[in-house]
Structure 1
């Protein structure tokens, strides 16, 4: 069953519109190389652990709304690299972890969207879909990524929802309910596309939305929740979201 009868679709940003692993890999290669032989280093597995530690430390700090700046935020961002790299046999001093975080931030705005992503968003908007973004993070930080991808050309400001500006982080279903209220949509008419099982799949499903799990990394499921569909690339997403329209000519 294609999701072609739903007229509102919202996308996650990090690792859904662009490859979030690339800045992480660059940061590790630039700063941890002297510490260990990185041949065969499991970047993808380490990236998943970085996101886990980011989520957990962010919750301890008070959520994305508390993460724009300040000493606590700086410590959290440094600490996540220490915790992550330690799991893979690379202990980092605070200074080394801070250098890795600085390299990571420096790379995060060098963004190239996934192949087919820009074309799909434009096609959806052209066919009358309400197209928007829902992303966790600090407002200025996430907005810089949105600007780097030139998403203002595709998604108007009133359809961009950044958790740090709203007071709820995914997977809190209140964030998705707020999006429905702000855009005049309903859960039954809304589709969410995201890569994170915990934040995107669980959060949107528990808000009553349909969900396409953008599982381009072929990750394992983490609970008994059942996404409406699963896709591994934008060609598959296009078939799910636009299939019937194409078939109708």
Structure 2
């Protein structure tokens, strides 16, 4: 029986694991540590800090994606603006120390979604080419992939990280590059949680797309994914069905 898709690529954060939970847990852990060390626990609570830090993380992300600021500048800005909001006396070097601590521990908070490993094994066993296309810095995203134990199914030439390629989703070029490296004689499918970056980007590049809507995002265009779901387990079942596989 023929398979509908012989190449399937996935986004990483909030597609294969909950980045939101890992990010929040690790950031809060690091913030608790730094305010204890500076005797600032009476100035602000972690519960107050995190929403402000998340706001600035989201606010400055577009500047990083556009190449206006570097990764280090992005991290410093979100930390120092959050500190300024609460009038906390943090320095640039402390912003760097905070993020060094975060990157050292964040992988410990990254847990794969249920069914991830079973899905990857099923696809690879069926000779489906699998890959990851993700926005972010090379060191951060590579560490997540290792923590999730995905390298047993993915070689380096099947992993496409925006910082290394100098192009971000939703630009067509990153999908075209992945397709050229993962050449197959069948269809191409992309699975991701971002409507703009993953669904719109993939469809505009000629791929089929599945919208794994783990964050209850509202679609902002008329693009038509082949399937929409809120869980990776349901997405896996749909892929098995369409590709005539037994999961």
Q: TM-score, normalised by structure 2?
A: 0.78
Moved more, 95-104 or 230-239: 95-104
Contact 2:189/2:210, CA 8 A, preserved across alignment: yes
| Residue of structure 1 equivalent to 2:177 | 178
- 2:124 is paired with a residue whose SS is helix
Provide structure 1 residue ranges, at least 5 long, that are not aligned to the other structure.
63-71
Q: Out of 44, 58, 75, which is 1:36 matched to?
A: 44
Q: Deviations over 1:35-94 (max 9, x none)?
A: 434559886x975873453233332437xxxxxxxxx432211213455x58xx756665
- 1:242 is paired with a residue whose SS is helix
Contact 1:82/1:93, CA 8 A, preserved across alignment: no
Paired residues, number: 233
- 1:137 is paired with a residue whose SS is coil
Contact 1:136/1:169, CA 8 A, preserved across alignment: yes
**RMSD over aligned Cα atoms:** 3.2
Q: CA deviation at 1:132?
A: 0.9
Q: Distance in 2 between matches of 1:41 and 1:26?
A: 12
Q: CA deviation at 1:116?
A: 0.9
- 2:211 is paired with a residue whose SS is strand
Q: Does 1:169 align with 2:177?
A: no
Q: Deviations over 1:89-144 (max 9, x none)?
A: 75666537555534432332222211111111111111221111111223233222
| Residue of structure 2 equivalent to 1:50 | 57
| Residue of structure 2 equivalent to 1:191 | 189
Deviating above 6 A after TM superposition, structure 1's stretches of 4 or more consecutive aligned residues are: 246-249
Contact 1:7/1:130, CA 8 A, preserved across alignment: yes
Q: Distance in 2 between matches of 1:244 and 1:204?
A: 19
- 5 Å-filtered alignment, 1:42-121, equals 47=54, 50-51=57-58, 53-61=60-68, 72-82=70-80, 85=82, 94-95=90-91, 97-98=95-96, 100-110=98-108, 111-121=110-120
- 1:208 is paired with a residue whose SS is coil
Of structures 1 and 2, the larger Rg is shown by: 2
Q: Deviations over 1:126-181 (max 9, x none)?
A: 12211111112232332222222221101122211122222211111011011111
